Structures are given as structure tokens and as C-alpha cells.
Amino acid sequence: MKKVLLRDVAEKAGVSIAMVSYVLNGQKTDRINKDTAQRIRDAVEELNYRPNFLAQSLKLKKTFSLGFIAADIANTFSSQLARIISDEADRAGYALIIGSSDESKPRFERLIDQLLNRQVDGLILAAPDGSEELIKALQTRKIPLVLIDRYFPELPVSSVRVNNYQASFDAMTHFISEGRKKIGILVFDTGLHHLNERMRGAQDGITQSKAAAYITHLINENQIEQEVPAAIQSMLKQDVDALYFTSNKLGIVGMRYLMNQQIPVPVKMSALFFDETEVFDFYPNPLPFIRQPLKEMGKKAVELVFQQMNEAASAAESVVLETTLVQSHIDQ
Amino acid sequence: MKKVLLRDVAEKAGVSIAMVSYVLNGQKTDRINKDTAQRIRDAVEELNYRPNFLAQSLKLKKTFSLGFIAADIANTFSSQLARIISDEADRAGYALIIGSSDESKPRFERLIDQLLNRQVDGLILAAPDGSEELIKALQTRKIPLVLIDRYFPELPVSSVRVNNYQASFDAMTHFISEGRKKIGILVFDTGLHHLNERMRGAQDGITQSKAAAYITHLINENQIEQEVPAAIQSMLKQDVDALYFTSNKLGIVGMRYLMNQQIPVPVKMSALFFDETEVFDFYPNPLPFIRQPLKEMGKKAVELVFQQMNEAASAAESVVLETTLVQSHIDQ
DNA sequence: TTGAGTTGTTTAAACGTTTAAACAATTAGA
DNA sequence: TCTAATTGTTTAAACGTTTAAACAACTCAA
């Protein structure tokens, strides 16, 4: 029942451990005697030998593991992404260690520290507000990393994200073409660039149409349960006839309020969401939303981080993916 | 910018690497000269030395990591549990590697294999149907492990779970006291003991009351989208006035069908769920459900696995936690 | 028949730690 | 004064791999 080592296999096959290692790793295959190789493979099989990952990692300076720090793993967006990234990493023989910054910079910093201590080979990060300097520092340390969802416009670092500005712009255009006159935009009061882009895109889209007006409400992330209802209330008084929720968290709180107040959507007030949530399943009327291509995002992120890992001096590459405006969650 | 090693610290402090190691690990503290120790600590600080986890792990035969295999990480139940376990492990300085068996036994087996290859120190497992032998094999290999949610009644292995039978029994009693006459029980057609206990508990509860009847429908896990609606349809014809969904997945599909068919809950048909989901948020009427104490479950699981890890011959310990019947998701 | 090349295999160092054991210098006990 | 104990530190082996380099035994051309 003891752990079987290279040494045991070598002994059984009557060779040195080097030979076993060579055969297992498919090296020097031209040199090694065919019979010996077979004998070794048989011994490996028979003893059910499994190389010790730690020893390998130590020697090869490669742990075959990636780190992913989500923004908030309790949020469906993050957990779905985690799932996809995990599967994708797995496919390449890499394990994924997942952390959640909960949008806290110190926590983010601590998690990075831990992941690096554990010598992960690469990082996929949903960087919180204010972490720009930290990312920059990681880059000068040549740590392979890719930002996902979040990004910093001035920082030359690989990232995967969606067309936040354009998606919001187009969504508003469409909203207006349906006859909306006054649109309320709800967005977190944050330095996070991607969220501000969603706001800007929406504002510009509305402005450009010349057929509608908008009111923007900045929501404090920690006061969301209070401020979203307050914002909606105030907008109702100003005859807002459509709401744009720039994140799923805002959307969920907002919809809950609208339901409690028995304000029918989209009859009296229409609503559009960035991101979908399974919560929509339980709403009887169509709820349009902007869908991010999660699968592609995850895949691409893994691809980019591998690229960083393999090519020492690989240039930063930013991938911007397209969203889709889904008219109704009901018929998908 | 190069990685700083024990050797570098030793050099800087003018001592051998052994001394540095001793100081860092707080060993031989009675022997070591106070000044030397301080000199070493200063050097560590100055060089910002971080021990290499791999080397440590290899030497100590301890990776300070746990493996958690969820049933289906896309399911809120699993992901919340993962979150809690991760936090709890983290608190103890352990990393968590998460996998999802998706209820597939081969996949479960493969994941275990991978985790063991990576030398995780302990396992927390939501074991899929049919994995009993595998668990038994792990136990004879003395792998520290704890089952969570799922368990095998005849297998003496540490586990954390809830009172599935009693919770279902009591819930039915309560249902009947509210006047339900004919209750439809929906449960997966599975060998999973905890789900069958939910069914048995409900059936026994109803039988014992003598004031109501029941119909049980076994649902094939892979046909859930077809079979749940069919089951509900057939039950409607038989004047069923209440539904008991023994898992959140069944509940979500069932509610979606009821909504599509415009069957008002709980007016025409009442419903009770095992597990809560955020989906309920978007339903205007009260939906009662049985709540599992996720936090306690996760904490206890980590506690038990640590116990297994620390005490070589620690006996299997089963922890059965209490659920709560929540009357309405609306006022929690 | 010698030296060079080829084939097949082993030796040994390295990865970065931990820690038992050895060692040296000082102090204490008789 | 000599031995024993104490204090402070170093040496070296070990954890389980990978891999460059060395080695041994042939083959072959000149």
C-alpha cells in the first residue's frame, strides 16, 4: 500500500531510474532499446506508478496549475466563468485554484501572494478597482497573467473583455427605436473602467439618437439595497419609462423592488440588463438583456495565459468579444 | 528580480541555511542566539523571502491543500458550498482545488485520481451514485476524506449531512396541517441515499397523518425537462393540490412549467422545495422551502477532514445537521 | 587494429526545503 | 583540572523527480 516510486519501477524492470524517466517522458526514444522500453512500461503498468507531482514541479519549475481570482464567486457571472476556465485548464492538464477578491483590493493582493507562493504557472484575474499598480508590478516580475472582464485602458497587459461601450450604445439605440423616451441608467459608483464604459456607451447612444433623454444614477456598491430602490423611486417621479441596469447585481435588486411595488415590466416600465441570471426564469414577461459570451471569454483567457507562459516575451494581446442583445429570456 | 532562496537569506545574515529554516519555523528557539535570530529575521524581511511551497511540500509530505469534488458546480448549492469550504480552508492556510463530477462516476474517479496525484492532504466529496466502492478503496488507502451532503449508510466514513428523512417528514406534516389533501412528490430516480431519504420521509409523513394521500413520480435525471412537466400534468389530472420538489433542480424546472401554464402557486397548487435558490426572488408569492445550513455544513466538513488528517486513526464521525422550514422566501 | 561513431545505459547533480546528527566552544560540576 | 553538560551553529542526507554528462560495449571504415 506504500507509494510506488520511480525507484520501485526501475528495480522491477532492472534498470536505472533515469531510464524509467526517459521512457515515461518519451525522451531519447531513438536510443532506448525497444525491449527495455516495453519492460519498463510493463512495470509501470503493473505497479500502477504515478509520478509525484511535487517532485516534478520542483524540478521542472512548473506546477501545471493556474490561479483565477474572481470578483465575487457568489455571483453567477463569476462562478460560470470559473467553471469554464476550470474545464478549459483541466483539458490541458492544468489544475485551477480559485479565489474571490469580493472586490476588495487588500484581499486581492493577499490572494495573489498566496497563488504565487504556490507557484501557479499563470494568473487569470478579474482585477478590482484600484489594483492597477499591483498588476503593473506583476508584469515587471514577468508573471504570466491575463485580465478578464476588467481591464485598465492605459496598461499594456493581455486581457479578454467585451465591447462594453458599443453594446450599451447599441442597446440604447434599440430601446429608443421601440419608443422609449426617458431612460434611467443605473451604474455603480466605481473606478472600474468596464462599468464606466457601459455608462458612457449608454449615454452617448441616447444623446446621439436625439429622440430620448436619460438620467444616470450612481449607486454605492455597499448601499445597493437602499440606493437602487431610492433611485428607481426618484426616476418614476421624473417619468422615466425604461431602466438600464449595467450589472446583474443592480438588475436583481431593481427587479425585486419593481415587483414589490407591483410595477409591471415591461408594461409600465421597461428594463434592460447587462448579463443574464437564472433569476429571470421566474419572471413571466420578456426581459431583454445583453449576453456576454462567457464560454469564449473563458477559453480565450486560458489561451492567452498559456501564450504568455510559453513565449517568454509575448506581447500583450487584448481580445474584445462581441455581446448579443437577447430580446427575451423566455424564448432565449 | 530573481527568486530569493533560503540560501540568499543565509548568506545575507552570515549563517547556514539550516539556521534560517529553524528561525523561520520557530524551532530550536531555546538554543538559537537572540541576536542571530534577529539578524536572520531582518534579512528575511529585507529580501522579502518567501519559502518555496513545492520544496516544503516535497520535504514535509504535505501540500497544504484540500480537494473538493462537488456534484455539479453550476448548481447554486454546490457553488455556495464551494465558497464556504474555500474560505474555511483558506483561514487555515489551505488552498482548495475544486472539481465537479457532474454526477458522473467516471469523471468523479478521474478527478480523485488527479487530486491525489497533486498530493492534496484531504478530500471533501459529494460522491455520485455508485461510487461506494471507490470511497471504500480510498479509505483502505488511509486517505483523509469526508463526504458532504451525500453518504452511504453502510459505509463507516466521516460525513456531514442534514436530516433528510425527518425534514421531509415534518414538512409534509406541516403541509397537511394547512389542508393539503393530495401531495405529489417529485424525486430523481437514483440510488443516491439522501434523495431517497427525502422521498421516504415525505411518504411516511403523509401516511402517518392519515389525512392526505400522495403520488410519487421518479424523474430521470437526464430527462428532467421533459419528465417534470409530464409528471405535473398527470398529477393535475389526479387532483394533486401540492407538490414537493425534493431538489432545487426539480423545483426550478417545475416552477417554470407552472408559470408557463399559468397555474398560480400557491393558490391553485402549492409547492414546497428542498433547498432555496435565488430564483425564488423573482416570484411574487410566498414559496416555502427547506433550508440546509450550508455554512455549518462547510465548516464542519473542513473540521472533520482536518481531524482525519491529524489523527492517524481517527474514527469516522457522522454529523447530521438540522434543516429549517422557511415559510416564505419573501420575508425570509 | 585503431580510432571514430553508434547504441544503450548509468551516474550524479540539481530543484529548495527540513531536520537529525555532528561539531565546536563555552560553562559548570566534581 | 578534567569531564560533562549546555549553548550555538553547521553538515549532510533526504524528499522524488529530470537530465546533462559520462560510460561501456559494439560496429565500422580506413
Minimum CA–CA partner of A60 in chain B: B54
Who contacts B153 (Cβ-Cβ below 8 Å, separation ≥6)? B193
CB contact under 8 A, A58 and B55: yes
Q: Which nt sits closest to B8, CA to C1'?
A: C16
pLDDT, residue A280, reads 84
Q: Do domains A6-51 and A65-161+295-320 have the same CATH topology?
A: no
Q: How far is the CA of A94 from the C1' of C6 (A)?
A: 39
pLDDT, residue A286, reads 85
CB contact under 8 A, A279 and B283: no
Q: Are B228 and B258 a contacting pair, CB within 8 Å?
A: no
pLDDT, residue B2, reads 75
| Nearest chain B Cα distance for residue A8, angstroms | 17
pLDDT in tens, B22-54: 999 988 788 999 999 999 999 999 999 999 999
Averaged confidence pLDDT in chain A: 94
Grade residue B1 by pLDDT with cuts at 50, 70 and 90: low
pLDDT, residue B4, reads 95
**Which of B50, B54, B117 lies at the smallest CB-CB distance from A58?**
B54
pLDDT, residue B90, reads 92
Q: How far is the CA of B247 from the C1' of D2 (A)?
A: 83
pLDDT, residue A201, reads 98
The DSSP code for B258 is: H
Minimum CA–CA partner of B2 in chain A: A141
Query: Is residue A176 over pLDDT 80?
Result: yes
**N-term to C-term CA, chain B:** 54
Three-state DSSP at A178 gives: coil
Q: To 5 degrees, how large is the angle CA B206–CA B210–CA B213?
A: 50
Q: How far is the CA of A14 from the C1' of D24 (A)?
A: 17
Question: What's the topology of domain A164-291?
Answer: Rossmann fold (3.40.50)
Q: The C-alpha cell of A213 is what? A: 433623454
* DSSP string for residues in A182-237: EEEEEEE-S--HHHHHHHHHHHHHHHHHSS-EEEEEEE-GGGHHHHHHHHHHHHHH
pLDDT, residue A200, reads 98
Q: What is the pTM of this model?
A: 0.91
pLDDT, residue A14, reads 96
Three-state DSSP at A120 gives: coil
Grade residue B328 by pLDDT with cuts at 50, 70 and 90: confident
pLDDT in tens, B271-282: 999 999 888 888
Amino acid at B112: I
The CATH code of the domain at B65-161+295-320 is 3.40.50.2300
CB contact under 8 A, B83 and A63: no
Minimum CA–CA partner of B279 in chain A: A279
pLDDT, residue B314, reads 75
Closest by CA to B149, choosing from B277, B329, B296, is B296
Query: Is residue B56 over pLDDT 90?
Result: yes
Neighbours of B313 (CB within 10 A): 6
pLDDT, residue A277, reads 86
Averaged confidence pLDDT in chain B: 94
Three-state DSSP at A25 gives: coil
For chain A, the C-alpha Rg in angstroms (whole number) is 26
The CA distance from B194 to B217, in Å, is 17
The CA distance from B282 to B276, in Å, is 13
Query: Mean per-residue pLDDT for B131-138?
Result: 96
pLDDT, residue A329, reads 64
The CA distance from A216 to A30, in Å, is 70
CB contact under 8 A, B284 and A259: yes
CB contact under 8 A, A114 and B95: yes
pLDDT in tens, A151-162: 999 999 999 999
Q: Are strands B289-291 and B324-326 parallel, antiparallel or unpaired?
A: antiparallel
CB contact under 8 A, B98 and A98: yes
CB contact under 8 A, A255 and B282: yes
pLDDT in tens, A280-322: 888 888 899 999 999 999 999 999 999 999 886 778 999 999 9
Minimum CA–CA partner of B137 in chain A: A1
Beta bridge partners, A216, equal A185
Burial class (CB in 10 A: 0-12, 13-18, 19+), A99: buried
B283 vs A contacts (CB less than 8 Å): 282
Beta bridge partners, B187, equal B218
pLDDT, residue B330, reads 64
Query: Is residue B55 over pLDDT 70?
Result: yes
Q: The C-alpha cell of B293 is what? A: 445550513
Beta bridge partners, A244, equal A185, A272
Q: Is there contact between A25 and strand D, defined as CB under 7 Å from any strand atom?
A: yes
Q: How far is the CA of B10 from the C1' of D1 (A)?
A: 39
The CA distance from A121 to A214, in Å, is 46
Closest by CA to A294, choosing from A323, A272, A314, is A323
Beta bridge partners, A271, equal A243
The DSSP code for B268 is: T
pLDDT in tens, B207-219: 999 999 999 999 9
Q: Give the number of beta-carbon pairs within 8 Å between A and B.
A: 103
pLDDT, residue B136, reads 96
Percent of chain B with pLDDT over 90: 86
Q: The C-alpha cell of A307 is what? A: 501564450
Q: Is the backbone peptide bond immediately before A288 cis, with ω within 30 degrees of 0?
A: no
Neighbours of A163 (CB within 10 A): 17
pLDDT greater at residue B187 or residue B286: B187
Minimum CA–CA partner of B81 in chain A: A74
Query: Is residue B332 over pLDDT 60?
Result: no
Grade residue B163 by pLDDT with cuts at 50, 70 and 90: very high
Minimum CA–CA partner of A96 in chain B: B97
pLDDT, residue A4, reads 95
How far CA A292 is from CA of A77, A111, A324, B163, in Å, comes to: 9, 26, 7, 40
Q: Which residue is nearest to nucleotide C13 (CA to C1')?
A: A59
Give the dihedral sign, CA A70/A73/A78/A84.
Answer: positive
The DSSP code for B127 is: P
Q: Where are the domains of chain B?
A: 6-51, 65-161+295-320, 164-291
Q: Which nt sits closest to B16, CA to C1'?
A: D10
Q: Which residue is nearest to nucleotide D14 (CA to C1')?
A: B59
pLDDT, residue B278, reads 81
The CATH code of the domain at B6-51 is 1.10.260.40
pLDDT, residue A28, reads 77
pLDDT, residue A92, reads 94
Query: Is residue B75 over pLDDT 80?
Result: yes
pLDDT, residue A48, reads 95
pLDDT in tens, A44-74: 999 999 999 999 999 999 999 999 999 998 8
pLDDT, residue B331, reads 58
* Chain A positions with Cβ closer than 8 Å to B: 1, 50-55, 57-58, 63, 65, 73-74, 79-80, 82-83, 86, 95-100, 114, 116-119, 140-142, 252, 255-256, 259, 277-284
Q: Which nt sits closest to B61, CA to C1'?
A: D15
H helix or E strand, kind and range, residue B66: strand B65-70
| Nearest chain B Cα distance for residue A250, angstroms | 14
Beta bridge partners, B283, equal none
B118 vs A contacts (CB less than 8 Å): 53, 65, 95
In sequence order, which ranges of B92-163 are alpha helices (DSSP H)? 105-117, 132-140
Grade residue B157 by pLDDT with cuts at 50, 70 and 90: very high
The CA distance from A172 to A242, in Å, is 10
Q: How far is the CA of B24 from the C1' of D19 (A)?
A: 32
Q: How far is the CA of B46 from the C1' of D5 (A)?
A: 37
pLDDT, residue B120, reads 96
The set of residues with CB closer than 7 Å to nucleic strand C is A 14-19, 22, 28, 30-33, 36, 55, 58-59, 61; B 3, 5-7, 17-18, 21-22, 24-25, 27, 49-52, 54-56, 58-60
How far CA A332 is from CA of A256, B156, B280, in Å, comes to: 21, 47, 20
pLDDT in tens, A246-284: 999 999 999 999 988 989 999 889 999 999 988 888 888
How far CA A87 is from CA of A82, A122, A320, in Å, comes to: 8, 16, 22
* DSSP string for residues in B157-184: --EEEE-HHHHHHHHHHHHHHTT--EEE
pLDDT, residue B58, reads 97
Grade residue B307 by pLDDT with cuts at 50, 70 and 90: very high
Q: To 5 degrees, how large is the angle CA B152–CA B155–CA B159?
A: 65
